[in-house]
Amino acid sequence: MKQLRPVYLDLLRIRQPLPAIISLLHRISGVFLFLAIPLLLTALQNSLANADHFNYLLQNSWFKLGLFFLFLAYSYHFFAGLRFLFMDLHWGTALKVARRSSWAVLGAFLLCFVFLGIWLC
């Protein structure tokens, strides 16, 4: 009798469909937003303490870069979250529509990427 043993799966070779990638990136952006809360609260506290700290934060390029990534994570999380809310309402659960909505999330995210880059530069 042949034993059923676990099969080694190389996760880097498995090609995930686009909706799975969108879901994974939604979770990663949520973790990034959650971990950024203490940093944002510290920046807010420093900026409200003194006008010099506020001006320093506005001119600091590292702070602008951090805000850029934070806004990108928020915009991606927002659009992917809307997609998942619609799917919870059973709108767009067919495979073809789910793929289209995944591409729509990526398109909206790329538009936000361009507009945020122009706005923060």
Domain-by-domain residue ranges, the chain?
61-120
Nearest-CA neighbor of 18 among 109, 88, 89, 91? Answer: 109
Q: Tens digits of per-residue pLDDT, 89-121?
A: 999 989 999 999 999 999 999 999 999 989 877
- Which band of pLDDT confidence, cut at 50, 70 and 90, is reported for residue 15? confident
Instruction: Quote the pTM value.
Output: 0.85
